[in-house]
Amino acid sequence: MTALARPWTRRPAAGAIEGQEAVLIGVIALLWTALGLSVDTFFTASNLQNILATVAPVTIVGVGMTAVIVTAGIDVSVGSTMAVVMVIVAQQLRDGGLAFAPAVGLALLVGGVLGLINGALVGYGRVHPIIITFGTLNLYRFVALQIFGGREVAGVPGTLGPLGGGAEGRTFGLPHSWLLAVALAALMWAYMRHVPTGRHLYAIGGDAEAARLAGVRVTRRLLTVYAVTGLLAGLAACCMIGGGGLVAQSAGTGMELQVIAAVVIGGTSIQGGRGTVLGTVLGALLVGTVTSAVTLLSWPNELTSLFIGVFILVAVGSDLLRERRRRSL
Amino acid sequence: MEEETNGAGGPLLRLTGVRRRYGGVQALRGVDFEVRAGEVHALVGENGAGKSTLIKIISGAEAADAGTVEMAGRVLPGGSTAAAFEAGIATVYQEPQLFGELPVAENIFLGRELRRRGLVDRAAQRRRAVELLRRLGLDPGLADVRVADLPVAQRQLVSIAKAFAHEAKVLILDEPSAILTDREIEVLFDVLRSVRSHGVGVIYISHRLDELTVISDRVTVMRDGTRVATRPTAELTIREIARLMVGHAPAGAAQRRAVPDGPPVLEAAGLSRRGAFRDVSLQVRAGEVVALFGLVGSGTGAIARALYGIDPPDSGTLHVAGREVRPRTPADAVAAGLAMLPGDRKVQGVFASKSIGFNISVGHLPVLSRARVWVDRARERAVASQFIDRIRIKAPGPATPVGTLSGGNQQKVVLARQLVRRPPVLVLEEPTQGVDVGAKDEIHDLVLGLADEGSAVLVVSSDLPEAIRLADRVLVVRGGRIVAEFPHGAAQADVLAAAAGDAGDQTPDQGADQGADQGADQGADQGSDDRGEER
């Protein structure tokens, strides 16, 4: 009965840390070492806290975006979703005197509803998610601007300070927002790795029709991942409001690109079916480090774009090379 | 051995009066069908006979318009793969339904994960997967390998393992052998015999009739959406099955055309490509139509792709009009004077959103352009209009997007593209696939007309009536080699029997010419008795 047996030596697929993640850890370690040696202010508490607090909202949304992209989808509306949440919550904090918990609850509710709308359109619409969420990107932005009513929201109280980047947003020197991001990432990591419906996300991204035939509830899963991404955008919005002050009309603009960059740099395939949340956490951290480094070194800001662009192309390129190697089997 | 198992048990699965229509096509016209516990039930029929539709309905992938599907006496709700699965029906589709990025073990249990406290129990899944792979004669080490890293044949075996993972009562195998090697098929058959002895009912779909006589207990023949016969396999010869498949339809051969004598315009000698075809030699003269007929997986498509430079041959020679050519890309083939109508139009043929004019002129832009850089749109339109009239494309005008046309008319557009500059050699792969009957006749007339005007035409087809109708000679391909040649006017059943493996133990391992002679002999005087030793 060994007629079909062929020796097969290949790295088992189920290792806890995958190739791209190991590479990212290496690159980040290298960068931090180099920066630590060349810039005395890099390894200061305030700088590291600043990096983590900046990276936190991107990571939080990235946790949901990873799941979305693994299903071969994408959500480019997250920035607009955050804008809607931020303006509504900021106004309520200022005018309604909302307390911390209700404010977060409101943010989650609004974000979740907007995400659910995306999920319903993607799940039932059978139109490519980039088109649908591009539509809602504009739609949600319009809604946000309507609520802004032509004015930024100024004088927002510091109710959400514990989630912000200030001193009250830290425990043992670590920003709460980043701890939260890591906790959420761990949850999503466990879900996508160990829970059946989480594994199904990879199946949907691999081949949605085959997944359906295998008994996966495709529409329900899509609905869920977009709703969760909206929910997380709501949470990230709370971090952005943070210590209060001003919420400008441009709130959340470009967020989707930062998040997608983090996910892609983290090794998640934009074609779906492969990717991990750990990669996204590292991808966001790398982007944050580079941004900070450019500032600390007083290099021109546009270099940040250059580095991020190169990272994305390298990540996508290595993905392509893997694919090619496989084809040639 | 078949008889005893057949006697055991009533029907496990029973279909009654199942109908299904797709648009204007009645795919199933009231089919009754049953599978007993402990039998391998072969389901055969020509392309379009309704086998795949029947399978989709049994597996719940689609709902029937009318009729019922019962498992062990209980009627199943239509159109639910989950319900069919719960009832014990497992399906191995023709295309492996696997997920490339997931390891084999996870693929096997996807959708039905083994759980422990709500979480995926990877360890248990891995253990069971290893067990299953062993049983299927596969390397148990594959359990941890990503499916994308496996060769295609092994993927197919993994999808079979997946079907075995859940103690199915009815197992459906849709052309499982199309991409398996003989040895792999042997292993598969061993496994089927073993599940049969455990009371599983197996529905086995295959074009290879020689296989059926080896593995199946009963055979059901379908034709035009109806069940024409269900008989114990032992009572039928391959030729009889072939005859039931094609029916008593008139051969429908076009009038024999006078083929002018002359040297071959297309001449292939000893073409081989590893894993696809071996030692293929053929000649087509100017004005001649030669059909390369073979069942799905026989290698005809690969031969066509080799001629056209898509997947070049490893060895052998190719001459066009006496000149040796070695096309390594389609552009080479075009330059050498070959034109090809590819088999998968959706992928290779039409630019759906573009106009008829664009679709016809693309690939001929130098001819249609001034000073070779500027496409003369007026001339493009004029050429398109001319073809719309000439080959009766039903469309308002040359600016109509091709995507809005019917399949048959799209096909004509692709054909027209090859005719802008009349090529000396025309290779047509499945020229009427997915085309309705009326358009089919028109395309056939067109092909014959081209030959009359002096083109050498090679038609690669798995559509038997088409091959017989069009061709001055039919070359039958099986297992990657030409095994028989029939003259114009051959009987369908003879050609099909040759393609499906009748006398399969006699013809192979010899040159194409010798095989051809034997095939022709069979066509002439073959009885039903010469397959005895196969059983």
Provide DSSP, B254-298.
PPPPPPPP--EEEEEEEEEETTTEEEEEEEEETT-EEEEEE-TTS
Residues of B in contact with A7 (CB under 8 A): 139
Same domain, B308 and B435: yes
Q: B304-316 burial by CB neighbour count: b if 16+ within 10 A, else e?
A: bbbbbbbebbeeb
Residues of A in contact with B113 (CB under 8 A): 196, 199
CA distance A175 to B248: 81
Same domain, B521 and B375: no
Does the CB of A189 have a partner CB in chain B at under 8 Å? no
CB contact under 8 A, A216 and B61: no
Same domain, B383 and B400: yes
**Pick from B110, B118, B149: which is nearest to A10 by CB?**
B149
Same domain, B388 and B287: no
**Pick from A12, A213, A274: which is nearest to B81 by CB?**
A213
**Pick from A4, A196, A215: which is nearest to B82 by CB?**
A215
**Pick from B81, B101, B138: which is nearest to A274 by CB?**
B101
What is the distance in angstroms between the Cα of B179 and the nearest Cα belonging to chain A?
Answer: 14
**Pick from A3, A196, A273: which is nearest to B137 by CB?**
A3
CB contact under 8 A, B141 and A8: yes
Same domain, B72 and B40: yes
pLDDT bin (cut points 50, 70, 90) of residue A5 is very low
**Pick from B82, B141, B145: which is nearest to A13 by CB?**
B145
**Pick from A6, A273, A329: which is nearest to B139 by CB?**
A6
Which of residues B372, B402, B422 is at a domain's end? B422
CA B501, B502, B507, B512 dihedral sign is negative
Mean pLDDT over A217-241 rounds to 94
Residues of B in contact with A321 (CB under 8 A): none
Mean pLDDT over A272-290 rounds to 92
Mutate one of A2, A8, A195 to test the B interface: name it (highest B CB count within 10 A): A8
Q: What SS3 class is residue A250?
A: coil
Is B188 part of a structural domain of the chain?
no
Q: Which two tokens stand for residue B315?
A: 């060895």
Same domain, B330 and B438: yes
Strands of the B277-285 sheet, one edge to the other = B277-285, B264-273, B315-320, B323-324
Is B398 part of a structural domain of the chain?
yes
Q: Which residue has the tokens 């369908």?
A: B492
Which of residues B118, B146, B166 is at a domain's end? B166
Residues of B in contact with A199 (CB under 8 A): 102, 106, 110, 113, 120
User: What pLDDT was estimated at residue B281?
Assistant: 93
User: What pLDDT was estimated at residue B520?
Assistant: 39
User: What pLDDT was estimated at residue A1?
Assistant: 38
What is the distance in angstroms between the Cα of A276 and the nearest Cα belonging to chain B?
Answer: 12
Same domain, B267 and B415: no
Residue B27: domain span: 1-88+168-178+200-236
Is B250 part of a structural domain of the chain?
no
CA A273, A278, A283, A284 dihedral sign is positive
* Greater model confidence, A213 or B89: B89
User: What pLDDT was estimated at residue A180?
Assistant: 94
Is B509 part of a structural domain of the chain?
yes
Same domain, B417 and B430: no
Which residues does B334 contact at the CB level (< 8 Å), separation at least 6?
B363, B423
Neighbours of A144 (CB within 10 A): 22
What is the distance in angstroms between the Cα of A15 and the nearest Cα belonging to chain B?
Answer: 10
User: What pLDDT was estimated at residue B511?
Assistant: 37
What is the distance in angstroms between the Cα of A103 and the nearest Cα belonging to chain B?
Answer: 33
Same domain, B282 and B389: no
Domain count, chain B: 4
CB contact under 8 A, B97 and A210: yes
Does the CB of A192 have a partner CB in chain B at under 8 Å? no
Q: Are B184 and B272 in contact (CB under 8 A)?
A: no
CA distance B44 to A320: 42
CA distance B448 to B466: 12
What is the distance in angstroms between the Cα of B141 and the nearest Cα belonging to chain A?
Answer: 7
Mean pLDDT over A33-52 rounds to 88
User: What pLDDT was estimated at residue B237?
Assistant: 85
Is B121 part of a structural domain of the chain?
yes
Mutate one of A1, A4, A271 to test the B interface: name it (highest B CB count within 10 A): A4
Is B244 part of a structural domain of the chain?
no
For residue B371, count CB atoms less than 10 angstroms from its CB and return exposed for 0-12, middle for 13-18, buried for 19 or more: exposed
Same domain, B227 and B370: no
Does the CB of A206 have a partner CB in chain B at under 8 Å? yes
Same domain, B49 and B111: no
Mutate one of B62, B98, B102 to test the A interface: name it (highest A CB count within 10 A): B102
What is the distance in angstroms between the Cα of A215 and the nearest Cα belonging to chain B?
Answer: 5
pLDDT along chain B (535 residues), means of 10: 44 92 81 93 84 90 91 87 87 80 88 84 90 82 86 78 83 79 79 86 86 90 90 88 74 62 89 90 92 85 87 90 86 81 60 74 56 62 75 74 74 75 83 71 82 88 85 91 89 85 47 39 38 36
Residues of B in contact with A5 (CB under 8 A): 137-139
Q: Which residue has the tokens 């989707």?
A: A256
**Pick from B99, B145, B187: which is nearest to A10 by CB?**
B145
Residues of B in CB contact (< 8 Å) with A are 59, 61, 81-82, 85, 91, 93, 97-103, 106, 110-113, 115, 118-120, 122, 134, 136-139, 141-142, 144-146, 148-149, 151, 154, 157, 183-184, 186-187, 190
Question: Which chain B residue is nearest to residue A2, measuring alpha carbons?
Answer: B137
Is B100 part of a structural domain of the chain?
yes
**Pick from B139, B149, B183: which is nearest to A326 by CB?**
B149
Mutate one of B86, B91, B99 to test the A interface: name it (highest A CB count within 10 A): B99
CB contact under 8 A, A210 and B98: yes
Kindly list the distances between the CA atom of residue A29 and the CA atoms of A282, B153, B463, in Å, as whole numbers in the listed order: 11, 43, 63
Which of residues B122, B142, B166 is at a domain's end? B166
Check which CATH number belongs to the domain holding B297 and give it: 3.40.50.300
Does the CB of A10 have a partner CB in chain B at under 8 Å? yes
Candidate from A51-65, A91-105, B168-182, B281-295 with smallest mean pLDDT: B168-182
Residues of A in contact with B115 (CB under 8 A): 196
Domains of chain A: 19-24+40-327 (1.10.3470)
For residue B197, count CB atoms less than 10 angstroms from its CB and return exposed for 0-12, middle for 13-18, buried for 19 or more: exposed
Does the CB of A101 have a partner CB in chain B at under 8 Å? no
Q: ipTM higher than 0.95?
A: no
Is B230 part of a structural domain of the chain?
yes
pLDDT score of A3 more than 60: no
User: What pLDDT was estimated at residue B254?
Assistant: 55
Does the CB of A320 have a partner CB in chain B at under 8 Å? no
Same domain, B330 and B440: yes
CB contact under 8 A, B103 and A7: no
pLDDT score of A266 more than 60: yes
